[in-house]
Amino acid sequence: MSFLLSIVMPAYNEQDCIEKVVHSWTSFLQRKFPNDNTTLIVINDGSKDNTKVLLDKLKTEVSNLTVIHQKNGGHGNAVVNGYRTALKLDSQYVFQTDSDDQFISDDFDKLWEKRDKSQFILGYRQVRHDASVRLFITKFLRGTISAVYGTFIMDSNIPFRLIKGSFLKKLMDQLPDPEPFAPNIFLAVMAKKSGQETFDIPITHKDRETGEVSIVKWNLWKVCIRSFKELLRFRLELNQKVKAIRA
């Protein structure tokens, strides 16, 4: 059985909002695609709170919910494993968002309506409700990608993206090894360099009302430096990988 759409959603210590977010997105799928096979794939990344218990309860109540529990591997690793699960389900389209209740399902249509124009479409947090240091790092990565690859992407790591399943398979086959800290950045760069129009569509980004940010304060700078080094190394491989994707 193939799926028209799978939504990939990593979750870590989101006990205060996970029920609300799951119900929001699964209900959205049922309204939007009542006659198609769709699923919300939630990857519990080794949560230490009651997220696991709540997800296990939800999967007995919600028919279009897929739950995966894994040891803590970080947000990027959870996203990659979610993508792999979506591909195993033979998903025609894969959408990724986060579980922190900072995005709204209504914005999905902005990306969906352009699915015939590109195989890789990104949202863009035009007004972003995050700490100033996180905003700086986004700008830093934007400048780094532009300088290193000659490619401009407004929000390369945004967890609000729509990808055609067959194209995602090509991208995943070319993902650097070892797995990068922020794989979504590398997928965006490869997609853009292979000729896809990402559109960078403005979407709503809400204040975080529950939970806690997993990467804070000076750890953000470590992430920034690590991502910069990974992007520099990847530059040597990019042309070969883009040729493989285009092929």
**Residue type at position 13:** N
pLDDT value, residue 246: 96
Q: Which residue(s) pair with 68 in the sheet? A: 43
What average pLDDT does this structure show over 4-22? 97
Distances (CA, A) of 152 to 111, 155, 159: 19, 9, 18
Q: Which of the 8 DSSP states describes residue 211? A: S
What average pLDDT does this structure show over 141-157? 89
User: 178: cis peptide before it, omega within 30°?
Assistant: yes
pLDDT value, residue 212: 58
pLDDT value, residue 136: 73
pLDDT band per the 50, 70, 90 thresholds, residue 221 = confident
**Every domain of the chain and the residues it spans:** 3-246
In angstroms, rounded to a whole number, what is the distance separating the alpha carbons of residues 161 and 8? Answer: 10
What average pLDDT does this structure show over 53-68? 98
pLDDT value, residue 227: 82
pLDDT value, residue 131: 62
pLDDT, tens only, 15-45: 999 999 999 999 999 999 999 999 999 999 9
**Residue type at position 16:** D
What average pLDDT does this structure show over 99-108? 96
pLDDT value, residue 209: 66
**Helix 183-193 vs helix 219-246: angle between axes, to the nearest 10 degrees?**
40
pLDDT value, residue 225: 82
Q: What percent of the chain has pLDDT over 90?
A: 79
Average pLDDT, the chain: 92
pLDDT band per the 50, 70, 90 thresholds, residue 142 = confident
Q: pTM of the entire structure?
A: 0.93
Instruction: Concatenate the DSSP letters of all residues of 93-149 into one string.
Output: EEEE--SSS-S-GGGHHHHHTTTTT-SEEEEEESS--S-HHHHHHHHHHHHHHHHHH
Domain covering 3-246 in this structure, CATH number: 3.90.550.10
Residue 218 has pLDDT above 60, yes or no: no
CB 24 within 8 A of CB 64: no
More confident residue, 189 or 133: 189
